A and B are shown apart, each in its own frame.
Chain A
């Protein structure tokens, strides 16, 4: 199978990287995460999904000779020669309590909880430090204007890694603002699914109980018969 044949290694090129300032030599094709493990680190913090969606592995790095500070997800970013890197497995951010039931999708609700968004300097550092390349400043500005739809849509792919929060000169806690906007938008502004309400009501009234219990009692032969009879909705 794949994993057996994969033993054939063609690539042995190695590069030097600097993990928290200390030099290691590792195969050049690795991600930062795999390079750390290869170098002997065992993750406790700083590693979750290993697939770019959980935001556990926020990393900052500089390349030798460049002033530029780069950001990335350790599980997604391939190492580069002479990379100086450190992961930021935790960065403090306050989260304001919000009981959605008692709220409305109004700008005051956001400002009451996160007044610091009014301090946004429009410097765009948050966008530049977002490994998802989200329009973070734009969504904060949208929230400030009370445009929750835009704030929700622009922040939808946020993985809450916290890099924006770590770099913001106005001390904004972007991802917490974003999730509040999304939840308010989805709960109060997106139209509800009518067919869903109808179906839930039917189920509560027991409309499918008889049919379902008949199926539960059928033997395999009957069930296979029923299964084969299904028509398939067109793609």
Chain B
């Protein structure tokens, strides 16, 4: 299988403008960037976040009254699946210093630093260790470690990307720790792309003013994830239990967090974890399919940690802002929603419409880039339609080989090349058809710069937290965020664990939450956390 005839026909048009566009780009004669003001206008008109009827105000909890996507409100305004009486909290199955919930990048980094700080650590995760969004990150990780760059520049770039809504303290913490985190990863044996003399090979990402995107092929996240996982497995004081997601936090009579209830996904059995401190690192919510969008996220990205933390008394920041990645696959149909990393644009390919013409600067911040694509397809009607009625524009990857020499695409993007070759499409010679896809949860649970929350003894790190990126994250700042704040969480939670005395375990907060739902008249069969999306009998 390759492209059908009508698309092949259209690709001829794309080929006819390619050389000219590459020449122009070389001369710096690119499609211009939008001004802040014009970008803002575009967002309001075309970004899915601004679409009427897609959000509602939360009726319960600390963030009552805040607007969030309907699909997210559905899991927040849902009943806990467990009855407090059902679980004997005196029967403690695991007794540890620090419990880490979720073994992606943030959770693994947290486990490592907590262990280094002397804590006995349990990591409970939903699928296998590393079945996580971190594993999927392709493009890279930002850090201002070159001479012409600086942490403050990094700060400014991220702030502009987030439309100046980012929490300044959190952002400063992230850019400050960034180079040290890269050094830590380098020392753990992450195979970063380097020049022969050891200089990191860095590229631009959307919204960056300096080339600070570090990478490991187009498997940056996988390389980081498998290295962290491997290191966790080296440490005796870290125990990892897989296929045992947390279904609720446990508190003690002081109101502090004191553990969690886990449930074995295969046997249904509950276990009780008593912990002096708890770190939530459960990642994002892509599998809620906000507004019905396909998603790039892994199977377990179902917002569980947000539900757990909110019921325990945390509040949200920026949960109304979802990130749609501009370049999601829409052909072949089997791969719909999968990501094509921004690095493909960083390396020189441009977006072109059905006429083979550019319509947007290729490296605008993601929300702006996505809005421009939506406008091109639905207002200007310059998109290309697939057999199943999806509409998209071309990401012209062959431009990279024109620019950098034949073989570059295959060398720089081996995983993507292979993925398309399986369907008979050679992306070094043919462009890819794309449309925005649900990618990242910009917001999350509110944290301070040591990852502590409004609930004593509860820490939160990674995509499940909110504030660092404001309303829109730039590429490469999430792998960074999860390692920086994962490490901070581990250290802070281990330190705190030294002074905590756990009291009597209770699930009273669940009963109270259910009462609150009833009191505002929410009658529903919905239960949460969702744990896994349901694609049975459907085409997921």
**A residues lining the B interface (CB < 8 Å):** 1-11, 27, 29-31, 33-34, 37-38, 40-45, 47-54, 56, 76-78, 95, 97-100, 132-133, 152, 156-157, 159-160, 179, 182-187, 190-197, 199-200, 203-204, 208, 211-213, 215-217, 220, 223-224, 226-228, 230-235
Closest to A175 in B: B226
Q: Which of A42, A56, A184, A186 contacts B186 (CB 8 A)?
A: A186
Instruction: Decide: A156 and B217 in contact? CB cutoff 8 A.
Output: yes
Chain-A contact segment, one of B142-150, B303-311, B478-486: B142-150
Q: 21 pairs across A/B with beta carbons < 8 Å?
A: A5-B391, A7-B389, A11-B388, A42-B536, A48-B135, A49-B299, A53-B222, A54-B128, A156-B219, A157-B217, A160-B226, A179-B230, A182-B189, A190-B194, A191-B197, A193-B198, A211-B152, A216-B169, A227-B156, A230-B156, A234-B28
Contact with A along B114-140 (1 / 0, CB 8 A): 000000000000011011000110000
In whole Å, how far is B432's beta carbon from the nearest beta carbon of chain A?
A: 15
Instruction: Decide: B164 and A3 in contact? CB cutoff 8 A.
Output: no
A79 and B266 alpha carbons, distance in the complex (Å): 27
> Which chain A residues border B186 with CB–CB below 8 Å?
186-187, 192-193, 196
> Which chain B residues border A193 with CB–CB below 8 Å?
145, 182, 186, 192, 194, 198-200
Q: Which of A31, A51, A223, A233 contacts B148 (CB 8 A)?
A: A233
Q: How large is the interface on B (under 10, 10 to 19, 20 to 34, 35 or more residues)?
A: 35 or more
Q: Which of A4, A48, A56, A97 contacts B292 (CB 8 A)?
A: A4
Contact with A along B218-261 (1 / 0, CB 8 A): 01001100110010011000000001000000000000000000
In whole Å, how far is B484's beta carbon from the nearest beta carbon of chain A?
A: 13
> Which chain B residues border A34 with CB–CB below 8 Å?
334, 535, 539-540
Chain-A contact segment, one of B80-88, B171-179, B440-448: B171-179
B507 at interface by CB-CB < 8 Å: no
Instruction: Decide: B136 and A212 in contact? CB cutoff 8 A.
Output: no
B196 at interface by CB-CB < 8 Å: yes
In whole Å, how far is A75's beta carbon from the nearest beta carbon of chain B?
A: 9
Instruction: Decide: A191 and B198 in contact? CB cutoff 8 A.
Output: yes
> Which chain A residues border B6 with CB–CB below 8 Å?
none
> Which chain B residues border A97 with CB–CB below 8 Å?
233-234
Instruction: Decide: B204 and A3 in contact? CB cutoff 8 A.
Output: no
A76 and B153 alpha carbons, distance in the complex (Å): 40
Instruction: Decide: A196 and B537 in contact? CB cutoff 8 A.
Output: no
Identify the interface centre among A2, A42, A212: most chain B CB within 10 Å of its CB: A2
In whole Å, how far is A114's beta carbon from the nearest beta carbon of chain B?
A: 14
> Which chain B residues border A197 with CB–CB below 8 Å?
183
In whole Å, how far is A201's beta carbon from the nearest beta carbon of chain B?
A: 9
B293 at interface by CB-CB < 8 Å: yes
> Which chain A residues border B227 with CB–CB below 8 Å?
179, 183
Instruction: Decide: A51 and B194 in contact? CB cutoff 8 A.
Output: no
Instruction: Decide: A179 and B226 in contact? CB cutoff 8 A.
Output: yes
B284 at interface by CB-CB < 8 Å: no
A77 and B219 alpha carbons, distance in the complex (Å): 20
- Once A193-B198, A195-B199 are accepted as A-B contacts, the answer to whether A29 and B334 lie under 8 Å apart by CB is yes
In whole Å, how far is A160's beta carbon from the nearest beta carbon of chain B?
A: 7
A212 and B159 alpha carbons, distance in the complex (Å): 13
Instruction: Decide: A192 and B198 in contact? CB cutoff 8 A.
Output: yes
Closest to B197 in A: A191
> Which chain A residues border B127 with CB–CB below 8 Å?
45, 47-48, 56
A200 and B539 alpha carbons, distance in the complex (Å): 48
A174 and B274 alpha carbons, distance in the complex (Å): 38
> Which chain B residues border A44 with CB–CB below 8 Å?
243, 265-266, 532
Closest to A99 in B: B234
Instruction: Decide: B151 and A203 in contact? CB cutoff 8 A.
Output: yes
Identify the interface centre among B148, B385, B540: most chain A CB within 10 Å of its CB: B540
Closest to B294 in A: A3
Instruction: Decide: B144 and A43 in contact? CB cutoff 8 A.
Output: no
A220 and B153 alpha carbons, distance in the complex (Å): 16
Closest to A38 in B: B539
A77 and B334 alpha carbons, distance in the complex (Å): 9
- Once A5-B391, A199-B144 are accepted as A-B contacts, the answer to whether A159 and B222 lie under 8 Å apart by CB is yes
Instruction: Decide: B391 and A48 in contact? CB cutoff 8 A.
Output: no
- Once A199-B144, A212-B175, A215-B156 are accepted as A-B contacts, the answer to whether A37 and B197 lie under 8 Å apart by CB is no
> Which chain A residues border B226 with CB–CB below 8 Å?
160, 179
In whole Å, how far is A142's beta carbon from the nearest beta carbon of chain B?
A: 15
A232 and B186 alpha carbons, distance in the complex (Å): 27
B76 at interface by CB-CB < 8 Å: no
Instruction: Decide: B298 and A156 in contact? CB cutoff 8 A.
Output: no
- Which residues of B in the span 414-432 have a Cβ within 8 Å of any Cβ on A? 414-415, 418-419, 422-423
B435 at interface by CB-CB < 8 Å: yes
- Which residues of B in the span 328-377 have a Cβ within 8 Å of any Cβ on A? 330, 333-334, 336, 338-339, 348, 374
> Which chain B residues border A195 with CB–CB below 8 Å?
145-147, 199-200
In whole Å, how far is A27's beta carbon from the nearest beta carbon of chain B?
A: 7
Instruction: Decide: B48 and A1 in contact? CB cutoff 8 A.
Output: yes
Closest to A54 in B: B135
Instruction: Decide: B418 and A132 in contact? CB cutoff 8 A.
Output: yes
> Which chain A residues border B183 with CB–CB below 8 Å?
196-197, 200
Instruction: Decide: A152 and B191 in contact? CB cutoff 8 A.
Output: yes
> Which chain A residues border B534 with CB–CB below 8 Å?
42
Q: Which of A30, A42, A47 contacts B334 (CB 8 A)?
A: A30
In whole Å, how far is A90's beta carbon from the nearest beta carbon of chain B?
A: 9
> Which chain A residues border B1 with CB–CB below 8 Å?
78
> Which chain B residues border A203 with CB–CB below 8 Å?
151, 176, 179-180
A31 and B338 alpha carbons, distance in the complex (Å): 14
> Which chain B residues border A133 with CB–CB below 8 Å?
418
Q: Which of A33, A78, A95, A191 contacts B194 (CB 8 A)?
A: A191
Instruction: Decide: A157 and B131 in contact? CB cutoff 8 A.
Output: no
Instruction: Decide: B199 and A53 in contact? CB cutoff 8 A.
Output: no
> Which chain A residues border B419 with CB–CB below 8 Å?
52, 76
